[in-house]
Structure 1
Amino acid sequence: MPAAQPRPESAIPAASEAPFSGAPDARGAMPVAAAPARLADELAVPAPSPVHQLQAELIQRTAPDETVAEPLYPGWLRVAFPVGSSLVLWAAIVWGVSRLW
């Protein structure tokens, strides 16, 4: 069956065919009656929840109002430092290898 086509209602298994019983299970927890599953359509509107509202408020408080560009190091330093440190490290490697022989 292609994934783009919804399954017919008869193909969706029911959550529980047995009627709700108020007896606790092995852990001692009371069972909860499950609502039947339904497919959401394009007209379905998500229900607002306190968790989503709190998350939206926190995002507004933590988002910076404006971004300030950080000053960059000069270009000569951004090129010279990696090249110079690479030369120093290669010199140390060559010196160390020459000490072994």
Structure 2
Amino acid sequence: MLLFQNMKLQSQTLYQLTSPTICIIIMKDSFIKKCETKVVCMINIEAEVVRLEELKASKMKKLVMRKKAELKELCRRAHLVERGDNEVEISIEVIESVNFFN
């Protein structure tokens, strides 16, 4: 502003020069705030995705364990010899090892 005053510009010319500058500064500040908001939003979204993936893995492990128990009960009732638990253990290991962000 001091620069414009030193140039002894008329008030209308001064307004024409400062008004766009002020608008640019306001737009820049608004843009920065929007970007910061978007970054915070993305961080929240990423955290929610991680939480949901962990919940999904937990539910899948519970389902595998429940089905294993049901199969064990069916084998017991039918007087069948159970096979090894390797399939169930492998299924649980696969569920735990899945990393969706790599």
- Greater helix proportion: 2
TM-score scaled by structure 1? Answer: 0.28
Which structure has more relative contact order (CA 8 Å, sep 6+)? It is 2
